[in-house]
Amino acid sequence: MPEPLTEAEREVLDYLIEYLRQNTYPPSVREIGGRLGIRSTRKVASILDDLAVKGWIERTPARSRAMRVLALDPVETMPPAAECARFDDATPDDAVWMQRALEQARAAETVDEIPVGAVLVRAGDVLAESYNLTRTLSDPTGHAEMIAIRHAAARANGARLTGTTLYVTLEPCAMCAGAIVLARIERLVYAAADPKTGMCGSLGCIVQDRRLNHRVRVTRGVLEQPAGDLLRGFFHARR
């Protein structure tokens, strides 16, 4: 249990919690001081230090703004990194299909798109394969997974893709994870994890959320290195 708080610490903590209900990142020291009428930013910083020492918040030393309220209704503040219920081991075929998804990712790079590729497979047949097209289509929903799901569903003439496995070179985001659940995809295999937006094990795990009516088996890390290298190379070249 975290240690009890002084009145000033409680005030700061309450403000942090309220703020984090509406914002992804915590407020700056100056914002906290301004809101609570504490003139000295050093005073605010020392209160934050005390909250961290007492175990109420967690801070990342390299980035002073990166902090997380640990106690007090964590679901309503900043949710802690969620784990998928479990990850399955890769099957012998997984690397072969992921290689094909990587080829799609490389095709994306040739048209100056973020190199992410996806392949949707059922019983050894490719139903659809695609790559990220957000810039080309001026469409924020143009992720590789979305395009593959749309194409496969149109081809199958049905909104459900039961019995399929989706291979994707990057961990799906919230949108794609939602689409995977809606499409009733059976298995998801991804290469690189995405600590910034990944919702299949990194920031959360929509595809295995028990509250939803469909859950997906997940395997991660298949050809993680080449998929990650491709993305790093892409962003490095454009910096």
User: Which residues are tagged catalytic?
Assistant: 145
Give, in order, the Cα–Cα distances in Å from 116 to each of 74, 107, 200: 32, 9, 16
Tokens of 194: 């995405």
Supply the minimum distance, in Å, between the C-beta of residue 58 and Zn ion.
Answer: 28
Determine, following the binding rule CB under 5 A, whether residue 173 of this chain makes contact with Zn ion: yes
Supply the minimum distance, in Å, between the C-beta of residue 6 and Zn ion.
Answer: 44
Phi, psi of 106 (to 5 degrees): -65, -35
For the segment 115-144, give every residue that binds Zn ion (CB under 5 A): 143
Which residue intervals of 85-223 are DSSP H helices? 94-110, 134-137, 144-156, 174-182
Strand order from edge to edge, sheet including 117-122:
125-131, 117-122, 164-170, 187-192, 217-220
Determine, following the binding rule CB under 5 A, whether residue 222 of this chain makes contact with Zn ion: no
Quick one: 143 or 187, whose CB is closer to Zn ion?
143
Supply the minimum distance, in Å, between the C-beta of residue 49 and Zn ion.
Answer: 38
C-alpha–C-alpha distance, residues 109 and 131, integer Å: 9
Part in contact with Zn ion (CB under 5 A); list of ranges 64-72, 98-106, 116-124, 174-182: 174-182
Please pick, from the candidates 29, 119, 127, 176, the single residue that binds Zn ion as defined by CB under 5 A: 176
> Where do contacts with Zn ion occur on this chain (CB under 5 A)?
143, 173, 175-176
